[in-house]
A = this chain, B = another copy of it.
């Protein structure tokens, strides 16, 4: 108990879902097999088609995972950050990466060999359970992201992203610096960069202003009413939602 951990990584393992509720020895075995790797900004971590030999857990920074074709057409752009895991699904599905991964900032990643996973899973039901949780969570994340891109109007999509990025803050509003470039955010939302730029200014009437690379949201609730009221994700399932649902009497179309 008084052993506070002889390593920053050990502390970190306390908050990563991957190590959740694992016995101390199991965590130690896993950690000793993994290693922390630093990446520079805009570095390639792997390309789609590469053998999936490792699992990646983000310690710091932002990583963009995406599919890309020869014409540089992107799809499935997802942005991951601290605590998120990637590459795990590829290990168990075909053993080749389905997507490419690159850093958008400087990043520190914890990398675990696939073999140790397969190995330890056989004896540790807890570890298997954690992997299942991580995969289930990833499915949920993708569904929320899909619901966002399903919003037909670009300003709404941006509003959705802003609300999700700031979901951890309290208060009525906030001023934030986007953690990555606007062109990246545009790709994440499946729209053109020019469209992103124009759509952002169209959010002014909802209290969103932008200057000097900072975006300020005056009133979360107002913004949330604008975009989340058309979202198909249930009220309590999305962290970004900020307004209470007003129970309107259901009027059925006949």
Point out residues on A near B: beta carbons under 8 Å. Answer: 48-49, 66-71, 73-76, 88-94, 96, 98-99, 121-123, 125, 128-129, 131-133, 135-140, 142-143, 146-147, 150, 190, 230-234, 237, 248, 250
Contacts and interface: CB of A to CB of B under 8 A. Distances in A.
A96 B140 CA distance: 11
Max chain B CB contacts within 10 Å: which of A68, A132, A147, A250?
A132
Contacts of A76: 143, 146-147, 150, 232
Given A132-B132, A147-B67, A232-B73, A237 B121 contact: no
B74 A232 contact: yes
Given A67-B147, A69-B231, A74-B232, 4 more contacts: A68-B232, A76-B146, A89-B140, A94-B140
Nearest to A142: B142
Contacts of A139: 89, 93, 135, 138-139, 142
A94 to B, nearest CB: 7
Which 10 residue pairs across A and B have the least CB separation, nearest first?
A75-B150, A67-B232, A128-B128, A93-B136, A135-B135, A92-B136, A69-B232, A89-B136, A89-B139, A75-B147
